[in-house]
Chains A and B, each alone.
Chain A
Amino acid sequence: MEQKGVTIWFTGMSGTGKTALAIRLEEELRGRGLKVERLDGDIVRQSLTRDLGFSKEDRDKNIERVTFVAKLLTRNGVAVLCSFISPYRRVRANVRREVENFVEVYCHAPLETLIERDVKGLYKKAIAGEIENFTGISDPYEVPESPEVMIDSSTETVEESLARVLGTLEALGYVPSVGQETVYSADEEAEIEARLAALGYL
């Protein structure tokens, strides 16, 4: 099956697991022989958009430039994994319009959990006023209305989230299926079989 390019857009506040999930997805897709590129907010801001800050205008420009790159790669058959906070609906909608094959993965966790995790120490600084324009503290995050996948890193493991993202990508025809393994974990499959047996179907 010829690879169909796609942009998989991971959006969510800092610390919700966008990058961790994108890294796992990249591993999995490469393992299936797909061409993959990952554009990560932290990394891109050190190069492609290092001149930009976190004002609304600069955030918009950041995403605009990334969209240009993602669109280029997607139309050349690459699976592009983009992990950006991208807090504004209008901007995300614009990416969706620009990139024909687009899958939005909304990564969520309750704010209290993110503050507690504070993976990069940024929430503490933002709460203390040391960082301005910090999404979730001093800047808004507009929750996606119809993402293709929604994950909650406070209730599911990365592997569980990965399985769901893969399931959606397979269902949409962007990723070849490797069969039942990607629908159910071994435990889930055993549980479903037990349920079917109890219902008399087996």
Chain B
Amino acid sequence: MKKVFVIGLDCAEPTLVFEQWREHLPNLGRLMDSGTYGDLTSTIPAITVPAWASMMSSRDPGQLGFYGFRNRADYSYERMSIATSQAVKVDRVWDILSRAGKQVIVAGVPQTYPVKPVNGYLISSFLTPSTLSQYTHPASLKHEISSLIDGEYMLDVYQFRTENKDHLLEQIYQMADQHHKLIMHLMTTKPWDFFMHVDMGVDRIHHGFWKYFDKRHPQYEPGNPFENAIRDYYIHLDQQIGERLELLDDDTAVLVVSDHGSQPMMGGICFNEWLMQEGYLTLEYQPEGIVPLEKCEVDWGKTLAWGSGGYYARLFLNVKGREPNGVIDPADYERVRDELIERIAAITDPEGVNIGSVAHRPEEIYQEVNNIAPDLIVYLGNLRWRSVGSLGLNRIHTFENDTGPDDANHSQEGMYIYNDPEVQGRGRGPKRHLMDVAPTILALMGVPNPGDMQGGSFAG
């Protein structure tokens, strides 16, 4: 039976790995040359949570019942809950493998805190409060990590919103190097049949440094000191990947995957400002300064819709009998929603050029809709523009994030590289969906598929 080694690179952009920097990435290149690689379509929304959970369970976000990091806990206007591992009510691939007696090592995969027991080892990811928390299974692994790593184990880069880009870069490398040391240690000292690690540094460096290298970015300036920062990080990771690959035998299949891709961020749409302009959102009074919606006095009796900020926008409707001060009659729900879809599609940039926004109805994109989904999932500029939820800017467009600078947004296509030493690779292969990854892992390891996964295996 095969072993499977999964290299997760959060936000890794296929065009950079497959084309632009391929010649600089010899180890990933070797995997591509003798394997099969292509685009890996992400979830809608294309964001770390729910994408990794969707990938590892082969269930869409609607089935999973969470649509982002933070979700409405009920139909009140305020209560939100963070989607931790407790929100994942279905098996992920390592749960199935554990029950089948396979030894698993799962490190840094998003949405694994609080930790749950596995047949092997698990180290949680960046939704962990701190290393004082129980972030490993078994509990004793935490102390093994402390002995191995200099300083504190980095669950994420800290102080991400900084203009001190040198310091941010240093942290990203420090995290990668620390995690690499741990991975090498685990690979060589613990038994495993399935090994998966997700590097979050790729996502962090994209968001922090994209404008410095991508000529398409509105704020790109040639000759800046960080022009090669992202490329050099990919090279660094490729070297580390090479060291890990040397430890693998011919019975091990390798998957390199990302949960979504990346693209330059053109700017931000102040979504709630836009809703106010369009007459859907009313405040009791204008805030002083730039204020998150949660801190504004919303006149709910005159508000039909409100939105949230992030890499994509979520829109919620204020429905009678559903929300506490709902105003939309249920009979008018679809009409209002249709109207908003049309108006969102007509959003333009400051020059009046349509930015190509798309609003998705959850029931049209998911097999089922569990818990409380947004009424619309909105891709502003098809993810080229982020959503800014704060009010007080008094304009629709902004080129500064309400929480600080951000250079990149996500794109719908991530990447996969599938390399099985016993299978002839096909080179550039078909586009797959990330829900195909879990069935592929099970097929490779000869473990029965539960039968209700949405994706299909591309093994063989």
Interface residues of A (CB under 8 A from B): 106, 143-150, 155-156, 160, 164, 167-168, 170-172, 177, 179-180, 183-184, 188-189, 191-193, 195-202
How far does the alpha carbon of A144 sit from the alpha carbon of B160 in the complex, in Å? 38
User: Does B84 contact A191, Cβ atoms closer than 8 Å?
Assistant: no
Collect the chain B residues with CB atoms within 8 Å of residue A172's CB. 116-117
User: Does A184 contact B82, Cβ atoms closer than 8 Å?
Assistant: yes
User: Does A171 contact B134, Cβ atoms closer than 8 Å?
Assistant: no
Q: How distant is B51 from chain A, measured CB to nearest CB, in Å?
A: 12
Contact A147/B138 with A198-B404, A200-B310, A201-B311 known, Cβ cut-off 8 Å: yes
Q: Which 5 A-B pairs have the closest CB atoms?
A: A150-B139, A167-B114, A146-B138, A188-B129, A171-B116
Which of B138, B143, B389 contacts A148 (CB under 8 A)? B138
Collect the chain B residues with CB atoms within 8 Å of residue A156's CB. 132
Interface residues of B (CB under 8 A from A): 47-48, 68-70, 73, 81-82, 84-86, 113-117, 126-127, 129, 132-134, 138-140, 142-143, 156, 159-161, 204, 207, 308-311, 386, 389, 401, 403-404, 406
Collect the chain A residues with CB atoms within 8 Å of residue B126's CB. 195
Which of B48, B70, B142 contacts A202 (CB under 8 A)? B70
User: Does A171 contact B86, Cβ atoms closer than 8 Å?
Assistant: yes
Collect the chain B residues with CB atoms within 8 Å of residue A150's CB. 134, 138-140, 142-143
Residue of A nearest to B137 (CB): A148
Contact A171/B70 with A198-B161, A200-B311 known, Cβ cut-off 8 Å: no
How far does the alpha carbon of A188 sit from the alpha carbon of B113 in the complex, in Å? 13
How far does the alpha carbon of A146 sit from the alpha carbon of B84 in the complex, in Å? 24
Collect the chain B residues with CB atoms within 8 Å of residue A183's CB. 82, 84, 86, 113-114
User: Does A200 contact B386, Cβ atoms closer than 8 Å?
Assistant: yes
Q: How distant is B139 from chain A, measured CB to nearest CB, in Å?
A: 3
How far does the alpha carbon of A177 sit from the alpha carbon of B73 in the complex, in Å? 14
User: Does A198 contact B73, Cβ atoms closer than 8 Å?
Assistant: no
How far does the alpha carbon of A183 sit from the alpha carbon of B112 in the complex, in Å? 12
User: Does A193 contact B82, Cβ atoms closer than 8 Å?
Assistant: yes
Q: How distant is B31 from chain A, measured CB to nearest CB, in Å?
A: 29
Residue of A nearest to B408 (CB): A200
Known: A189-B82, A198-B403. 15 other contacts (CB 8 A): A147-B139, A147-B140, A148-B117, A171-B117, A177-B86, A179-B81, A183-B86, A183-B114, A184-B82, A196-B70, A197-B403, A198-B161, A200-B401, A201-B68, A202-B309
- Would you list 21 pairs from A and B whose C-beta atoms are within 8 A, ordered by A residue? A144-B140, A145-B138, A146-B139, A160-B132, A167-B134, A168-B117, A172-B116, A172-B117, A180-B73, A183-B114, A188-B129, A195-B156, A196-B70, A199-B160, A199-B204, A199-B207, A200-B386, A200-B406, A201-B68, A201-B69, A202-B389
Contact A200/B403 with A144-B140, A146-B140, A148-B139 known, Cβ cut-off 8 Å: yes
Contact A171/B82 with A148-B139, A200-B403, A201-B47 known, Cβ cut-off 8 Å: no
Q: Specify which of A150, A156, A177, A201 lies most central, judged by the most chain B CB atoms within 10 Å of its CB.
A: A201
How far does the alpha carbon of A106 sit from the alpha carbon of B389 in the complex, in Å? 45
Q: Specify which of A148, A167, A199, A202 lies most central, judged by the most chain B CB atoms within 10 Å of its CB.
A: A199
Collect the chain A residues with CB atoms within 8 Å of residue B134's CB. 149-150, 164, 167-168
Collect the chain A residues with CB atoms within 8 Å of residue B311's CB. 200-201
How far does the alpha carbon of A191 sit from the alpha carbon of B132 in the complex, in Å? 14
Residue of B nearest to A165 (CB): B134
User: Does B139 contact A200, Cβ atoms closer than 8 Å?
Assistant: no
Residue of B nearest to A173 (CB): B116
User: Does B138 contact A170, Cβ atoms closer than 8 Å?
Assistant: no
Contact A192/B403 with A148-B138, A155-B132 known, Cβ cut-off 8 Å: no
User: Does A192 contact B127, Cβ atoms closer than 8 Å?
Assistant: yes
Collect the chain A residues with CB atoms within 8 Å of residue B156's CB. 195, 199
User: Does A196 contact B69, Cβ atoms closer than 8 Å?
Assistant: yes
Collect the chain A residues with CB atoms within 8 Å of residue B143's CB. 150
Q: How distant is B327 from chain A, measured CB to nearest CB, in Å?
A: 26
Collect the chain A residues with CB atoms within 8 Å of residue B403's CB. 197-198, 200, 202
Q: How distant is B169 from chain A, measured CB to nearest CB, in Å?
A: 16
How far does the alpha carbon of A168 sit from the alpha carbon of B138 in the complex, in Å? 11
User: Does B84 contact A180, Cβ atoms closer than 8 Å?
Assistant: yes
Residue of A nearest to B156 (CB): A195
Which of B85, B139, B406 contacts A171 (CB under 8 A)? B85
Contact A168/B114 with A160-B132, A196-B69, A200-B311 known, Cβ cut-off 8 Å: yes
Residue of B nearest to A199 (CB): B160
User: Does A145 contact B309, Cβ atoms closer than 8 Å?
Assistant: no
How far does the alpha carbon of A195 sit from the alpha carbon of B204 in the complex, in Å? 12
Collect the chain B residues with CB atoms within 8 Å of residue A184's CB. 82, 84, 129
Collect the chain B residues with CB atoms within 8 Å of residue A195's CB. 126, 156, 160
